Amino acid sequence: MKVLVVLALAVFSVCNADIPSQEAPKIDLERVRYAAWDSFIDMTFATMELVEKFRKTELGQDVEARITQSADSVSEYIAALSSQDFRIQLSEEAEQLKAYLNKGLTVVSNTMEPIAEDLLAKLQTQVEAMIPKTKSLQTQVSG
């Protein structure tokens, strides 16, 4: 009899159980999404706090000073490049370099021209000296 009562209670308790609706997973998914965003926001704030603490340290101030100095140098360099004075100076120096190179090429050309003429004359002499020898070889091969 006790077994029958326990069985009856078990059946009724199962029948009265609330079956979760199909929307329950959505609610759980939303909870997970909100929890993820909350974690992300918490990590973002924690990172921002760490950055602020780092900036207050001596090393952080040194790094920030170097970054600022580099940015200032870049700004000055860009300003110098875009200024008209720099362009004029660059054009003048380019003209000076062109004149210097032309002068150097003229010196090299003047120095090399006599040497080249001498080599050409020697080569012509040697070719003329070889002509009779080649004619005699040609007659030997033909004859």
Provide the CA 124 distance to its chain's centre, in angstroms. 58
Do residues 34 and 75 both lie within one domain? yes
Q: DSSP character for 21?
A: P
Least confident stretch, 13-17, 58-62, 69-73, 109-113? 13-17
Q: Where in the sequence is the domain holding 63, given as residue range(s)? A: 28-82
Report pLDDT for 83. 77
61 contacts: CB under 8 Å, gap ≥ 6: 55
86 contacts: CB under 8 Å, gap ≥ 6: 80
Domain boundary among 82, 105, 120: 82
Within a domain: residue 141?
yes
pLDDT at 69 over 90: yes
Within a domain: residue 14?
no
Q: How far is CA 17 from CA 11, 13, 22, 35, 39, in A?
A: 10, 6, 16, 29, 35
pTM to 2 decimal places: 0.35
Do residues 67 and 111 both lie within one domain? no
Please tell me the total count of domains within the chain.
2
| Residue in the block written with tokens 């000296």 | 129
Instruction: Give the pLDDT band of residue 94 (cuts 50, 70, 90).
Output: very high
